[in-house]
A and B are shown apart, each in its own frame.
Chain A
Protein backbone atom coordinates (compact mmCIF):
# COMPACT_ATOMS: atom_id res chain seq x y z
CA UNK A 1 0.00 0.00 0.00
CA UNK A 2 1.15 3.51 -0.65
CA UNK A 3 2.78 5.11 2.31
CA UNK A 4 1.45 8.00 4.37
CA UNK A 5 3.75 10.52 2.69
CA UNK A 6 2.16 9.83 -0.71
CA UNK A 7 -0.54 12.49 -0.38
CA UNK A 8 -0.90 13.80 -3.94
CA UNK A 9 -4.61 14.16 -4.69
CA UNK A 10 -5.76 13.17 -1.23
CA UNK A 11 -8.59 15.29 0.17
CA UNK A 12 -9.21 16.64 3.64
CA UNK A 13 -6.03 18.53 4.47
CA UNK A 14 -7.74 21.89 4.26
CA UNK A 15 -6.48 25.24 3.06
CA UNK A 16 -2.83 26.02 2.54
CA UNK A 17 -1.67 28.15 5.46
CA UNK A 18 1.06 30.66 4.75
CA UNK A 19 3.12 32.04 7.63
CA UNK A 20 4.10 35.63 6.77
CA UNK A 21 7.82 36.41 7.10
CA UNK A 22 8.53 32.85 8.12
CA UNK A 23 12.09 32.35 9.44
CA UNK A 24 14.19 29.51 7.94
CA UNK A 25 14.03 27.68 11.26
CA UNK A 26 11.55 28.07 14.12
CA UNK A 27 13.98 26.89 16.81
CA UNK A 28 17.71 26.28 17.10
CA UNK A 29 17.17 22.54 17.31
CA UNK A 30 15.60 22.53 13.84
CA UNK A 31 18.80 24.02 12.40
CA UNK A 32 20.89 21.43 14.27
CA UNK A 33 18.78 18.56 12.90
CA UNK A 34 19.12 20.01 9.41
CA UNK A 35 22.91 20.17 9.82
CA UNK A 36 23.17 16.69 11.35
CA UNK A 37 21.34 15.21 8.38
CA UNK A 38 23.51 17.03 5.83
CA UNK A 39 26.62 15.86 7.69
CA UNK A 40 25.47 12.23 7.74
CA UNK A 41 24.54 12.32 4.03
CA UNK A 42 27.93 13.83 3.17
CA UNK A 43 29.76 11.22 5.15
CA UNK A 44 27.73 8.48 3.47
CA UNK A 45 26.32 7.13 6.74
CA UNK A 46 23.13 6.76 4.70
CA UNK A 47 21.84 8.17 1.43
CA UNK A 48 18.98 10.50 0.62
CA UNK A 49 16.62 7.69 -0.36
CA UNK A 50 17.30 5.83 2.88
CA UNK A 51 16.51 9.08 4.67
CA UNK A 52 13.23 9.49 2.79
CA UNK A 53 12.43 5.83 3.43
CA UNK A 54 12.96 6.27 7.17
CA UNK A 55 10.48 9.16 7.24
CA UNK A 56 7.92 7.27 5.16
CA UNK A 57 8.04 4.28 7.48
CA UNK A 58 6.82 6.36 10.41
CA UNK A 59 3.42 5.12 11.61
CA UNK A 60 0.88 7.29 9.74
CA UNK A 61 -0.59 8.91 12.85
CA UNK A 62 2.89 9.84 14.06
CA UNK A 63 3.92 11.17 10.65
CA UNK A 64 0.87 13.41 10.44
CA UNK A 65 1.26 14.67 14.00
CA UNK A 66 4.96 15.46 13.60
CA UNK A 67 6.34 18.77 12.41
CA UNK A 68 8.66 18.77 9.42
CA UNK A 69 11.89 18.74 11.40
CA UNK A 70 10.49 16.29 13.95
CA UNK A 71 10.22 13.88 11.01
CA UNK A 72 13.83 14.58 10.14
CA UNK A 73 14.86 13.99 13.75
CA UNK A 74 13.03 10.68 13.77
CA UNK A 75 14.82 9.60 10.57
CA UNK A 76 18.33 10.65 11.66
CA UNK A 77 17.84 8.88 14.99
CA UNK A 78 16.54 5.73 13.32
CA UNK A 79 19.30 5.62 10.71
CA UNK A 80 22.12 6.14 13.19
CA UNK A 81 20.78 4.12 16.10
CA UNK A 82 23.42 1.79 17.54
CA UNK A 83 22.55 -1.72 16.47
CA UNK A 84 22.06 -4.22 19.26
CA UNK A 85 25.24 -6.16 19.77
CA UNK A 86 27.39 -3.11 18.99
CA UNK A 87 29.47 -1.67 21.79
Chain B
Protein backbone atom coordinates (compact mmCIF):
# COMPACT_ATOMS: atom_id res chain seq x y z
CA UNK B 1 0.00 0.00 0.00
CA UNK B 2 1.08 3.55 -0.65
CA UNK B 3 -0.72 4.93 2.41
CA UNK B 4 2.26 6.96 3.55
CA UNK B 5 2.76 8.49 0.13
CA UNK B 6 -0.95 9.25 -0.32
CA UNK B 7 -1.03 10.85 3.10
CA UNK B 8 1.93 13.13 2.35
CA UNK B 9 0.23 14.16 -0.90
CA UNK B 10 -2.90 14.97 1.05
CA UNK B 11 -0.87 16.93 3.60
CA UNK B 12 0.62 18.97 0.76
CA UNK B 13 -2.85 19.60 -0.63
CA UNK B 14 -4.01 20.84 2.77
CA UNK B 15 -0.98 23.16 3.01
CA UNK B 16 -1.83 24.66 -0.38
CA UNK B 17 -5.44 25.20 0.69
CA UNK B 18 -4.34 26.74 3.97
CA UNK B 19 -1.93 29.12 2.24
CA UNK B 20 -4.60 30.16 -0.24
CA UNK B 21 -7.15 30.91 2.52
CA UNK B 22 -4.61 32.76 4.66
CA UNK B 23 -3.46 34.78 1.63
CA UNK B 24 -7.10 35.66 0.93
CA UNK B 25 -7.34 37.05 4.45
CA UNK B 26 -9.95 34.50 5.49
CA UNK B 27 -8.01 33.02 8.40
CA UNK B 28 -4.61 33.03 10.04
CA UNK B 29 -2.16 30.57 11.55
CA UNK B 30 -3.01 31.86 14.99
CA UNK B 31 -6.71 31.36 14.48
CA UNK B 32 -6.21 27.80 13.21
CA UNK B 33 -3.89 26.90 16.09
CA UNK B 34 -6.41 28.36 18.51
CA UNK B 35 -9.28 26.32 17.08
CA UNK B 36 -7.30 23.09 17.33
CA UNK B 37 -6.00 23.93 20.79
CA UNK B 38 -9.45 24.69 22.17
CA UNK B 39 -10.87 21.50 20.70
CA UNK B 40 -8.14 19.31 22.17
CA UNK B 41 -8.09 20.98 25.57
CA UNK B 42 -11.78 21.75 26.06
CA UNK B 43 -13.90 19.15 24.29
CA UNK B 44 -13.90 15.83 26.10
CA UNK B 45 -16.24 13.08 27.29
CA UNK B 46 -15.17 14.17 30.78
CA UNK B 47 -17.62 17.08 30.32
CA UNK B 48 -20.50 14.75 29.59
CA UNK B 49 -19.45 12.50 32.46
CA UNK B 50 -19.60 15.44 34.90
CA UNK B 51 -23.15 16.18 33.80
CA UNK B 52 -24.14 12.55 34.28
CA UNK B 53 -22.56 12.29 37.74
CA UNK B 54 -24.33 15.45 38.88
CA UNK B 55 -27.64 14.11 37.59
CA UNK B 56 -27.08 10.84 39.47
CA UNK B 57 -26.49 12.51 42.84
CA UNK B 58 -28.88 15.45 42.54
CA UNK B 59 -32.46 14.56 41.51
CA UNK B 60 -33.40 18.23 41.16
CA UNK B 61 -30.50 18.76 38.73
CA UNK B 62 -31.60 15.67 36.81
CA UNK B 63 -35.05 17.17 36.42
CA UNK B 64 -33.66 20.48 35.20
CA UNK B 65 -31.32 18.65 32.83
CA UNK B 66 -34.13 16.67 31.24
CA UNK B 67 -36.36 19.76 31.00
CA UNK B 68 -33.77 22.21 29.56
CA UNK B 69 -30.36 20.70 28.99
CA UNK B 70 -28.79 23.87 27.55
CA UNK B 71 -29.56 25.76 30.78
CA UNK B 72 -28.48 22.85 32.99
CA UNK B 73 -25.10 22.76 31.21
CA UNK B 74 -24.51 26.42 32.00
CA UNK B 75 -24.90 25.62 35.71
CA UNK B 76 -21.75 23.50 35.39
CA UNK B 77 -19.89 26.07 33.32
CA UNK B 78 -20.44 24.09 30.09
CA UNK B 79 -22.02 25.28 26.86
CA UNK B 80 -23.25 24.06 23.48
CA UNK B 81 -22.99 27.59 22.04
CA UNK B 82 -19.27 27.66 21.28
CA UNK B 83 -19.57 26.30 17.74
CA UNK B 84 -20.31 28.09 14.48
CA UNK B 85 -24.04 28.04 15.17
CA UNK B 86 -26.16 27.52 18.30
CA UNK B 87 -27.30 24.01 19.02
CA UNK B 88 -30.24 22.82 21.02
CA UNK B 89 -29.15 20.15 23.45
CA UNK B 90 -31.24 17.35 24.93
CA UNK B 91 -30.42 14.56 27.32
CA UNK B 92 -32.25 11.26 26.91
CA UNK B 93 -32.42 9.09 30.03
CA UNK B 94 -32.02 5.32 29.98
CA UNK B 95 -34.47 3.43 32.18
CA UNK B 96 -35.02 -0.27 32.87
CA UNK B 97 -37.66 -0.14 30.11
CA UNK B 98 -35.90 2.02 27.51
CA UNK B 99 -32.36 2.19 26.17
CA UNK B 100 -31.33 5.12 23.97
CA UNK B 101 -28.64 5.17 21.30
CA UNK B 102 -27.48 8.03 19.08
CA UNK B 103 -26.56 8.20 15.42
CA UNK B 104 -26.44 10.64 12.53
CA UNK B 105 -27.28 8.61 9.43
CA UNK B 106 -26.86 11.54 7.02
CA UNK B 107 -23.49 12.83 8.20
CA UNK B 108 -21.82 12.90 11.60
CA UNK B 109 -23.73 15.24 13.96
CA UNK B 110 -22.42 14.79 17.47
CA UNK B 111 -22.18 16.91 20.67
CA UNK B 112 -18.45 17.58 20.36
CA UNK B 113 -18.32 20.13 23.20
CA UNK B 114 -19.56 17.51 25.65
CA UNK B 115 -18.16 14.30 24.20
CA UNK B 116 -14.99 15.43 22.43
CA UNK B 117 -14.15 14.69 18.80
CA UNK B 118 -16.26 11.76 17.63
CA UNK B 119 -14.70 8.33 17.12
CA UNK B 120 -14.30 7.01 13.57
CA UNK B 121 -16.78 4.20 14.16
CA UNK B 122 -19.54 6.73 14.89
CA UNK B 123 -18.90 8.35 11.50
CA UNK B 124 -18.58 5.05 9.62
CA UNK B 125 -21.10 3.87 7.05
CA UNK B 126 -21.27 0.57 8.93
CA UNK B 127 -22.57 2.18 12.12
CA UNK B 128 -24.75 4.78 10.42
CA UNK B 129 -26.42 2.24 8.14
CA UNK B 130 -26.95 -0.53 10.66
CA UNK B 131 -27.85 1.00 14.01
CA UNK B 132 -31.18 2.39 12.79
CA UNK B 133 -32.13 -0.98 11.36
CA UNK B 134 -30.71 -3.54 13.79
CA UNK B 135 -29.65 -1.73 16.96
CA UNK B 136 -29.80 -4.80 19.15
CA UNK B 137 -27.28 -6.61 16.96
CA UNK B 138 -25.00 -3.58 16.76
CA UNK B 139 -25.11 -3.05 20.52
CA UNK B 140 -24.29 -6.73 21.06
CA UNK B 141 -21.18 -6.28 18.92
CA UNK B 142 -20.19 -3.49 21.31
CA UNK B 143 -20.63 -5.99 24.15
CA UNK B 144 -23.95 -4.56 25.32
CA UNK B 145 -26.55 -7.32 25.63
CA UNK B 146 -29.85 -5.71 26.58
CA UNK B 147 -32.60 -7.68 28.32
CA UNK B 148 -35.26 -8.82 25.85
CA UNK B 149 -37.83 -6.62 27.58
CA UNK B 150 -35.85 -3.42 27.18
CA UNK B 151 -37.12 -1.27 24.34
CA UNK B 152 -34.61 0.62 22.18
CA UNK B 153 -34.98 4.14 20.85
CA UNK B 154 -32.52 5.14 18.12
CA UNK B 155 -32.12 8.90 17.82
CA UNK B 156 -31.19 9.97 14.29
CA UNK B 157 -29.70 13.44 14.68
CA UNK B 158 -31.10 14.95 11.50
CA UNK B 159 -31.64 18.61 12.47
CA UNK B 160 -29.93 21.18 14.69
CA UNK B 161 -30.35 19.41 18.03
CA UNK B 162 -27.60 17.43 19.66
CA UNK B 163 -28.23 14.70 22.20
CA UNK B 164 -26.51 12.84 24.97
CA UNK B 165 -27.60 9.65 26.70
CA UNK B 166 -28.00 9.68 30.48
CA UNK B 167 -26.98 6.15 31.50
CA UNK B 168 -28.52 4.44 34.51
CA UNK B 169 -26.44 4.68 37.65
CA UNK B 170 -24.75 1.31 38.20
CA UNK B 171 -25.77 -0.74 41.23
CA UNK B 172 -23.38 -0.70 44.16
CA UNK B 173 -22.21 2.89 43.70
CA UNK B 174 -24.14 4.43 46.59
CA UNK B 175 -21.07 5.42 48.55
CA UNK B 176 -19.17 7.01 45.67
CA UNK B 177 -18.45 10.73 45.49
CA UNK B 178 -19.34 12.77 42.41
CA UNK B 179 -15.83 12.62 40.93
CA UNK B 180 -15.65 8.87 41.35
CA UNK B 181 -19.05 8.49 39.71
CA UNK B 182 -17.96 10.65 36.77
CA UNK B 183 -14.92 8.41 36.32
CA UNK B 184 -17.24 5.45 35.70
CA UNK B 185 -18.89 7.11 32.69
CA UNK B 186 -17.49 6.32 29.24
CA UNK B 187 -17.91 8.04 25.90
CA UNK B 188 -19.74 4.95 24.65
CA UNK B 189 -22.12 5.20 27.60
CA UNK B 190 -22.97 8.76 26.55
CA UNK B 191 -23.63 7.62 22.96
CA UNK B 192 -25.57 4.56 24.09
CA UNK B 193 -23.31 1.78 22.83
CA UNK B 194 -22.33 0.90 26.41
CA UNK B 195 -24.40 0.65 29.58
CA UNK B 196 -22.37 3.33 31.40
Instruction: Please report A residues at the B interface, Cβ cutoff 8 Å.
Output: 5-11, 13-19, 22, 24-25, 27-29, 31-36, 38-43, 45, 47-48, 52, 55, 64, 68, 70, 73, 76-77, 80
Contact = CB atoms under 8 A, between A and B. Distances in A.
A15 B126 contact: yes
Question: Looking at chain B, what size class is its interface with the partner chain?
Answer: 35 or more
A78 to B, nearest CB: 11
B61 interface: no
From DSSP, what is the main secondary structure of chain A's interface residues?
helix
Nearest to A19: B120
A32 B18 contact: yes
Interface string B107-120: 11000000011011
Contacts of A8: 103, 105-106, 128-129, 132-133, 156
Contacts of A29: 7, 10-11, 14-15
Contacts of B13: 73, 77
26 contacts: A7-B128, A7-B129, A8-B133, A13-B125, A13-B126, A16-B127, A17-B124, A18-B119, A24-B40, A27-B10, A27-B11, A28-B11, A29-B7, A29-B10, A29-B15, A32-B36, A34-B39, A35-B35, A35-B36, A38-B35, A39-B31, A40-B21, A42-B84, A77-B17, A80-B20, A80-B21
